[in-house]
Amino acid sequence: MTDRHSGLDRFYSVIPAGGVGSRLWPLSRADAPKFLHDLTGSGHTLLRDTWDRLAPLSGPNRIMVVTGRAHRAAVESQLPELKDPNVVLESEPKDSTAAIGLAAAILLNREPDVIIGSFAADHVIGDQPRFRRAVIEAVAAADAGYISLIGITPTEPAVGFGYIHYGDAMTIDGAPHAMMVDRFVEKPDLATAESYLADGRYLWNASMFISRADVLLAQLGEAEPELLAGLTRLAEAWDTPRRGAVVDQVWPGLKKIAIDYTVAEPAAVAGRTVVIPGDFAWDDVGDFASIAKLHSGGRKSDLAILGEGARVLADSSTGVVISQGKRLISLIGVTDIVVVDTDDALLVTTTHNAQRVKAVVDALKLSGRNDVL
């Protein structure tokens, strides 16, 4: 990367590594969240793949990971290059505004002109060069003062993602494809998703935010001044011996709210949000149907098998088997099946019911079965 890419020398990657991934239970657990699994068969965890994707952009010394205290050891084992000042541990989860806002505030204290990009720890991206080109444009737009997003050009009428509707093309140096964001829309029903696909001006919201840290925090302060004040207090103490005391004091009171509502949407209303269309394969691997699709390459006739020691004997069966043990798994005449075989829990469902897995997790929570969550 060279200086002809505006702002890239001041770019810092932030990886919020938080969510458990309830729809991937019993594979994903509180103590083994989604980002710590290899769901693509790459041989690496999603977190490691995310790191390897960002290192060429910001350099390995400029990647910050925000994660829960319980995951520190696992994260550091996955990312031996991760420097201690780049580990931000949350004492309890406070949603994405707190996670990304705190990273922005800490980095702003260290580098007043820093540009940060936040990328989920548990997404899958197919085409690295195209991803990098989109980020480079987004950084250029951020350098010009915008909150930049990367939106994915839809390839099907997906109902599991939010969408970004874009308006006019912008004229930003180094960001020739930047479009003004018109509005955000929540996960649609199928008919609506089909109309979005036909419309051509809707992109999947891939939760990739790129912005100058000062711009992001100023935007946040307009919507949530108290939350900004808390994050600022934390950041000021962060690189000092007072960190622990201030965390204990401030953290519990931080408002839990997604950054979409505190930054991206208000900025869009104010005409400060742009989106770079990303023309690459992307998935949030949100449920087992998504895993089945990732592994089958779209072929309906396939049975995807994940697991190092997986031993599967299948006859006339399609879907996905995820095995964490060495048991022999035999499938006969089951189509679009999902079998997740772990040490203490077994899930059997179908790809069509993949979104309903969360309800099981909720039921287990209600019945106090935290031992398997």
The residue ranges that bind its own copies (CB under 8 A) are: 26, 313, 315, 327-334, 337, 339, 341, 343-350, 352-353, 356-357, 359-360, 363-364, 369, 372
Residue 122 or 341 having the CB closest to its own copies: 341
Q: Least Å distance between CB 367 and its own copies?
A: 9
**Cα–Cα dist 186/351, whole Å:** 22
Q: Least Å distance between CB 45 and its own copies?
A: 24
Place of tokens 């250029």: 140
DSSP letter for 228, please: H
Q: Least Å distance between CB 327 and its own copies?
A: 5
Collapse the DSSP code of 352 into the 3-class scheme (helix H, G, I; strand E, B; otherwise coil) and give the result. helix
Q: Least Å distance between CB 220 and its own copies?
A: 39
Residue 249 or 355 having the CB closest to its own copies: 355
User: What DSSP line would sit under 307-336, residue for residue?
Assistant: -TT-EEEEES--EEEEESS--EEEEES--S
Residue 86 or 324 having the CB closest to its own copies: 324
Pair 52, 44: CB distance under 8 Å:
yes
Q: Of 304, 371, 266, nearest to 30 (Cα)?
A: 371
Residue 78 or 317 having the CB closest to its own copies: 317
Place of tokens 């970004």: 164
Tokens (6 digits) for 282: 């992307």
**Cα–Cα dist 90/68, whole Å:** 5
Q: Least Å distance between CB 295 and its own copies?
A: 18
Q: Least Å distance between CB 325 and its own copies?
A: 9
Residue 256 or 352 having the CB closest to its own copies: 352
Collapse the DSSP code of 298 into the 3-class scheme (helix H, G, I; strand E, B; otherwise coil) and give the result. coil
Residue 3 or 344 having the CB closest to its own copies: 344
Q: Least Å distance between CB 307 and its own copies?
A: 12
Pair 338, 351: CB distance under 8 Å:
yes
Residue 102 or 329 having the CB closest to its own copies: 329
Pair 32, 25: CB distance under 8 Å:
no
